[in-house]
Amino acid sequence: MTGGMPRRTLLGSTAAAGLAAALAGCSSDSGGGEGSAGSRRKGEKITLTFWTWVPGIDACVALWNKQNPDVQVKVEKVSPTNGAQYAKMHAALKAKNAPDLAQIEYQMVPSFLLDQGLVDLSKYGAGEHKDKFVGWQWQQSVFGDGVFAIPQDSGPMGMFYRSDLFDKWGIEPPATWAEYERAATKVRAKGAWIATFPPMAGGWFTGLAWQAGAHWFDTKGDTWIVDMTGQETRRVCDFWEGLVRGKLVKTEPDRQNAWYSDLQSGRIVTWVGAQWGNALLSGNAPGTAGKWRVAPMPQWDKGGKASANWGGSTTALMSGTKYPKDALAFAVWLNSAPESVALLPKAGVGWPAARAGSANPALDRPDDFFGGQKYNSVFAGTEQGVNTSWRWGPMMDATFQHLGDELTAAINGKGSFADALARVQRRTVDDLKAKGLKVETRT
Amino acid sequence: MSRARPARSAAVFLLPFCVLFTACFIAPIGYALYQSLLKSQRSGPLGFGREREVFAGLGNYTHALQDGRFLQGFGRVLLFGAVQVPVMIVGATVLALLLESASARWVPFFRTAYFLPYGVPGVVASILWGFLYVPGISPVVDTLHRVGWDVDFLSNGTVLWSIANIATWEFTGYNMLVLIAQLTSVPGELYEAAVIDGASAWQVAWRIKLPLIRPALVLTTVFSIIGTLQLFSEPLVLRSLTSNIDAAYTPNLLAYNEAFAANNYHLAAAMAVLLAVVACVLSFGFLRLVGRTGKGDER
């Protein structure tokens, strides 16, 4: 009686799903194949596709399209949740239908190099634009003699805090991590939490280790050096493990609804975040307008000025683009032309990578959300404190996954945070070896 | 000569199916098998030079089977299935029997209402339920908190069952509909005869209806077992709401992350093949099991 029916239904639905996927694959209309000359014929009209998730980037692109009728840029938005945009880009590269241009965060550039996914811009004269950008940000995408992306913005880290509540409770905003821990106890006594420790926020935790002076990745000749268990990292691990085990911080994910709800209601009163976080706060906790201030990151050494970078991205050219010269011209214009850089902060990007951009009047304005504080001047200061010798590893998306998994396991009782980092290092080394890379750990 | 024509027209009718079946089913499986036997080798400074794909034999399979997280993921979905599938099938059967009982009222309305969740895409359903699980947002958590009961639907111990709840909500109505379809095909004389013989409603359900919808029960159970092993979109969506779902929470999720976060397509292909093998073994194993014990009923 069951006969063929279950099988037919099963196959039918599978075939339909496969067909849908195939159709979705076809709908992407970006150019594939290598361009021979690297530029278009004179007078030829072309359209470049650009994958990005920056909400307001369309304003810049519209301006470019008006100025360059022959080289139109078409923005296609991709989701930045949980690295979905990179999964899509890697898949598109594998399927050879990648866009011409893509927004890629600094830490992801090496993983695309492993996929042969980016165009070496030095072949098309990128070197002459080097001086338009902040030195260390430019260097983040330089490997050997190649230049693989044009920097757009960075995310110097600082501390957002609820100055009204700190005043009301008579607590000094912490300037060192030791003071931060004491403040956490006092805040907890008032029924609130000083912060959350979001185990899945790999970029955030990396920023904390970066500030403490760790260097997780380095290169020596042909070999990658991994060091996630050094004393600087251990210090960060032990500190946050103390806060978590002492129930002085929450462990909910950041930048999610529950966290926004806690910010809005004053249950969480600080966020050690990045410059671009201002928009997240004002957009998701509008009821707290005027009550936030910005201070530098708490320091390990009293009077120190160490900071770190969280996030920040580049505009890169994906291999397969037929018009690298035109695409490069757009990437450079987008991130350095004064008329574009003036629009970027409103578009939702972070601290501009263009040298001219730091003097942007839009960044030097008192902000009502921060009670009239010129909060960007704080980030201008912390940007100077970023340790610019930091290097990213070749598979940071996988490393961030391991970091989230292992820190969660540690919170749930599987060993210490430092043990978790040792496991992350071991799995990262395995990943790199599986990719056929030479890798060593620093002992 | 008169035999050739039906054969030709049969071929014409079969062609679209065969083409689609080959292009969308056989070819991808073949490609996955092929990919699972390869591995990448990189050369040049820091590995940024050339990439070559070389034959790896069964290396990816041994790697997958030695990965404790992959095996844990299997353990998790098996535990999930052992609890969720029986609960859902029993629920669907009870609903179907209720709606098909003589005294049922408003049948079309309830049938549609129960079936409706199946029309909600899995991702959307997960987002909806996610809002009901997250403390600070969820009215359920808030209300329970107010009456003094602090529940965390997203904790390490509970999140699996929160996912089970979503799956049950989504698919009970669908399975119910399959069972109802079979129930309506039971000839009415059987019921009449039973009632004349003095059978109670209970006895009719237990001794007539249930044995007669056995094939539909087997069908829905096999589908549910396969669905359980393929658990993917619910954990993927809830992952952003809680840190207690890791990248290897289910075998499917791990294969996805190996493919798209670690860019190890070859290992991911091997994992996908292993997952398919386990799904086949469990499905056919279940069919064998019920086939053996059920021989008597199907004459």
Q: Examine the pLDDT at A431 and tell me if it is beyond 70.
A: yes
Query: Are A331 and A297 contained in the same domain?
Result: no
Alpha carbons within 13 A on the beta-carbon side of B273: 22
Banded model confidence at residue A35, pLDDT cuts 50, 70, 90? very low
Percent of chain B with pLDDT over 70: 94
Query: Domain check: are A85 and A210 in the same one?
Result: no
Best of A7, A79, A114, A268 to disrupt the B interface by mutation (most B CBs within 10 Å)? A114
Q: Are residues A249 and A394 in the same domain?
A: yes
User: What does the pLDDT read at residue A357?
Assistant: 66
- Decide if B278 is inside a domain: yes
Chain B touched by A393 (CB under 8 Å): no
Question: Whole-model pTM?
Answer: 0.80
Domain that holds residue B245: 66-293
Q: Bridge partners of A52?
A: A77
Q: Is A359 within the bounds of a domain?
A: no
Please give the tally of structural domains in chain B: 1
Q: Which helix (H) or strand (E) holds A71?
A: strand A71-77
Contact A5 B219 (CB under 8 A): yes
User: Looking at A159-163, A228-232, B100-104, which range is the least confident one?
Assistant: B100-104
In angstroms, the separation between the Cα of residue B3 and the nearest Cα of chain A is 26
- All residues of chain B having their beta carbon less than 8 Å from the beta carbon of residue A91 are 260
CA B63 from chain centre, in angstroms, equals 26
CA-derived radius of gyration, chain A = 23
Q: What's the pLDDT at A349? A: 82
Q: Is any Cβ of chain B less than 8 angstroms from the Cβ of A145? A: no
Is residue A67 domain-shared with residue A137, that is, in the same domain? yes
Average pLDDT over residues B79-97: 95
Does B195 reside within a domain? yes
pLDDT at A362: 66
Q: Is the pLDDT of residue A304 over 80?
A: yes
Contact yes or no for A87 and B261 at CB 8 A: yes
What pLDDT was estimated at residue A168? 96
- ipTM for the predicted complex: 0.72
Angle at B40 between CA B35 and CA B45, to 5 degrees: 160
3-state SS assignment for residue A316: strand
Percent of chain A with pLDDT strictly greater than 90 = 62
Cβ-based neighbours of B251, under 8 Å, separated by 6 or more: B70, B73, B74, B77, B229, B271, B274, B275, B278
**A234-262: pLDDT as tens digits:** 999 999 999 999 999 999 999 888 899 99
* Maximum Cα interatomic distance, chain B, rounded to a whole number of Å: 87
Interface contact A113, partner B, CB < 8 A: yes
DSSP string, B173-213: HHHHHHHHHHHHTS-HHHHHHHHHTT--HHHHIIIIIHHHT
Q: Do A258 and B262 touch (CB under 8 A)?
A: no
Q: How many CB pairs under 8 A join A and B?
A: 140
The answer to whether residue A278 scores a pLDDT higher than 70 is yes
Question: Is B22 a domain residue?
Answer: no
Confidence of residue B135 (pLDDT cuts 50, 70, 90): confident
CATH code where residue B240 lies: 1.10.3720.10
pLDDT in the model for residue A443: 64
| Model confidence pLDDT, tens digit, residues A82-134 | 778 998 998 899 889 999 999 999 999 998 988 889 999 999 999 999 999 98
pLDDT of amino acid B150: 86
Q: What is the longest distance spanned by two Cα atoms in chain A?
A: 81
Q: Are residues A266 and A161 in the same domain?
A: yes
Residue pLDDT, tens place only, B178-215: 999 999 888 888 888 988 988 888 888 888 899 999 99
User: Can you read off the two tokens belonging to residue B158?
Assistant: 């509970």
Q: Which domain holds residue A433?
A: 157-310+374-441
User: Hey, is the C-beta of A20 within 8 angstroms of any chain B C-beta?
Assistant: no
Residue of A nearest to B29 (CA): A18
Residue B74 CA to chain centroid, in angstroms? 14
A331: pLDDT confidence band, cut at 50, 70 and 90?
very high
What is the count of structural domains for chain A? 2
The DSSP line for A175-233 is SBHHHHHHHHHHHHHTT-BS-B--TT-HHHHHHHHHHHT---EEEETTEEEE-SSSHHH
Q: A335 and A195 in one domain? A: no
**For B16-34, what is the mean pLDDT?**
94
Identify all chain A residues contacting B128, using CB atoms and an 8 Å cutoff: none
> What is the SS3 assignment for A173?
coil
CA separation for the pair B30, B22 (Å, rounded): 10
Helices within chain B (DSSP H only): 4-21, 27-35, 59-66, 68-100, 107-115, 122-133, 139-146, 159-184, 188-196, 201-204, 210-212, 214-229, 233-238, 251-260, 265-293
pLDDT at res. B247: 87
Q: Is the pLDDT of residue A28 over 60?
A: no
A396 and A302, same domain (yes or no): yes
Residue B45 is predicted with a pLDDT of: 64
A424: pLDDT strictly greater than 90 = yes
| Distance, first Cα to last Cα, chain A | 67
How many Å lie between the alpha carbon of A87 and the closest alpha carbon of chain B?
5
**Residue B76 located in a structural domain:** yes
Specify the pLDDT at position B298. 44
Q: Tell me the pLDDT band of A345, cut-offs 50, 70 and 90.
A: confident
> Which ranges in A84-151 belong to alpha helices (H)?
84-94, 109-114, 135-139
Question: Looking at the structure, do residues A46 and A182 belong to the same domain, yes or no?
Answer: no
The two three-digit tokens of residue A157, written as one number:
């880290």
Residues 6+ apart with CB under 8 A from B51: A114, A115, A116, B40, B41, B42
Q: In which band, very low, low, confident or very high, does the pLDDT at B53 lie, cut at 50, 70 and 90?
A: confident
pLDDT at A6 over 60: no
Please determine, for residue A33, whether its predicted confidence score (pLDDT) is greater than 60.
no
Residue A58 predicted with pLDDT over 60: yes
Coil/strand/helix, residue A136: helix
CATH code of A47's domain: 3.40.190.10
A258/B241 CB distance under 8 A: yes
pLDDT at A98: 95
B263-281, pLDDT tens digit by residue?
A: 888 999 999 999 999 999 9
Q: What is the mean pLDDT of chain A?
A: 87
Task: With respect to residue B37, please indicate whether it lies within any of the assigned structural domains.
Answer: no
Q: Is residue B33 part of a domain?
A: no
Is the separation of the CB atoms in A430 and A402 below 8 Å?
no
What pLDDT, on the 0 to 100 scale, is given for residue B121?
A: 92
Instruction: Please tell me if residue A437 touches chain B, with a CB cutoff of 8 Å.
Output: yes
pLDDT, residue A434, reads 80
> B190 vs chain A: nearest CA distance in angstroms?
18
pLDDT level of residue A9 (50, 70, 90 thresholds): very low
Residue B1 within a domain? no
* Same domain for A57 and A123: yes
Q: Is residue B14 part of a domain?
A: no
Residue A394: its chain B contacts at CB < 8 A?
46-47
Flag whether A22 is in a domain: no
Q: Residues A143, A202: one domain? A: no
User: In which band, very low, low, confident or very high, does the pLDDT at A1 lie, cut at 50, 70 and 90?
Assistant: very low
The answer on A272 and A164 residing in a single domain is yes
Give me the residues paired with residue A273 across strands. Answer: A158
Q: A299 and A317: one domain? A: no
A394 at the B interface (CB within 8 A)? yes
